[in-house]
Amino acid sequence: QVQLVESGGGLVRAGGSLRLTCAAPRIIFSGNHMGWYRQAPGKQRELVARISPGGRTDYADPVKGRFTISRDNAKNTLYLQMNSLKPEDTAIYYCNTFGPRSDSWGPGTQVTVSS
């Protein structure tokens, strides 16, 4: 089992910003499409954003124009810049490969947006 480790969550007011970081083992990160996922209370985990090894990005409709996914291939690190946060963004955020590895889910990082 090889886990990813997310950090950077917290409590923020609506309209605020947070930057999430994911430290990944090279064996998982290198050459793979990566994604940020989130799971809100009572809901299924969903894909928020994904990025190719070369930096091509794609976003779920609810976060388009507000979130930016990026990666540092030299550091095996994934980022999610979240701006204009809304209460409905409240969730635990996870990183994983796109087409997630079931044995690699980390603990996630809690993001709470107050109104």
pLDDT digits (tens, 9 = 90+) for 37-62: 999 999 999 999 999 999 999 999 99
Dist. CA 88–CA 102, nearest whole Å: 26
Pairing of the two strands 91-97 and 34-39 = antiparallel
Write out pLDDT tens, residues 70-104: 999 999 999 999 999 999 999 999 999 998 888 88
Mean pLDDT value of segment 13-33: 96
**Model pLDDT, residue 103:** 87
Instruction: Quote the DSSP letter at residue 17.
Output: -
pLDDT for 44 equals 96
Given this model, what pLDDT does residue 104 score?
87
Give the pLDDT of residue 89: 98
Q: Which pLDDT belongs to residue 101?
A: 87
